[in-house]
Chains A and B, each alone.
Chain A
Amino acid sequence: VMTQSPATLSVSPGERATLSCRASQSVSSNLAWYQHKPGQAPRLLIYDASTRATSIPARFSGSGSGTEFTLTISSLQSEDFAVYYCQQYDNWPPLTFGGGTKVEIK
């Protein structure tokens, strides 16, 4: 089970956002982050816990291993307000996602 916190994060543009994802058992570094905006398909941001996917800006960074992971957005831009999901691909099937963190404008 993947648990994300907080469920909602209110942040002002330009501020730093820190999102957490916890796994009920170790997933090593087999953890990805996705960004999901309304009406759009999710987008892969980070994989292997800390590797940015193609074309993802450097303000997105991931860290952690085992059961505790963090996605950090260093300086929030207007286009970053969205829902973020973590996904583990270590112990599967099934592949599992966290419940999501909504990043909203403060």
Chain B
Amino acid sequence: QVQLVQSGAEVKKPGASVKVSCKASGYMFTYYYIHWVRQAPGQGLEWMGWINPKSGGTNYAQRFQGRVTMTRDTSISTVYMELSRLRSDDTAVYYCVRDQAKQLFDYWGQGTLVTVSS
């Protein structure tokens, strides 16, 4: 069955970087785009961008441009999302999600809580 398994919770200081991994299984890794979506405490869902696992091409939301980097390692069917220059308002649960087609999200990772605190 399709699974997206994310790395564990992180605690970071302001100004640091965090890198979250998302390992895919149960389907052809290069066939589906992976997006990253986050949810801050008490807030709604916020789209961060996508990566094409086949080509490595990316598309980031403008508000994260310059701070986010999405990469992949096809040999282990894993995508990564790195967010730099962390601020307290980056505290959120970060999800990787599979794009079934047309930017619709059919499978989600379990979420990774990133806490930014001094």
Q: Which residues of A contact B (CB under 8 A)?
A: 30, 32, 34, 36, 41-42, 44, 47, 53-54, 85, 87, 89, 92-100
Are A97 and B61 closer than 8 Å at their CB atoms? no
> Which of the segments B11-19, B44-52, B83-91 contacts the partner chain?
B44-52
B29 interfacial contact with A, CB 8 Å: no
| Closest chain B residue to A48, Cβ basis | B102
Residue of A nearest to B93 (CB): A41
Picked from A44, A92, A97, A99, the residue with its CB within 8 Å of the CB of B106 is A44
What is the predominant secondary structure among interface residues of chain A facing chain B?
loop
A41 and B62 contacting across the interface, CB-CB below 8 Å: no
Tell me if B44 and A42 are in contact (CB < 8 A).
no
Interchain CB contact under 8 A, B59 and A30: no
Contact B108 A41 (CB under 8 A): yes
- A100 and B44 contacting across the interface, CB-CB below 8 Å: yes
Given A92-B103, A95-B47, is A41 in contact with B111 using a C-beta cutoff of 8 Å? yes
**Chain B residue with Cβ nearest A92:** B103
Query: Are A41 and B104 neighbours in the complex by a CB distance under 8 Å?
Result: no
CB distance from A31 to the nearest CB of B (A): 10
Given A85-B45, A98-B44, A53:B110 Cβ within 8 A: no
- Give the chain A neighbours of B35 by CB distance below 8 A: 95
Supplied contacts A87-B45, A94-B61, A97-B46, 10 more A-B pairs, CB within 8 Å = A34-B45, A36-B45, A41-B95, A44-B104, A44-B105, A85-B45, A89-B102, A93-B47, A95-B103, A100-B44
B109 an interface residue at 8 Å Cβ cutoff? yes
| B48 to A: closest C-beta gap in Å | 9
Task: Return the CB mask of B92-106 against A: 1 if under 8 Å, else 0.
Answer: 000100001011111
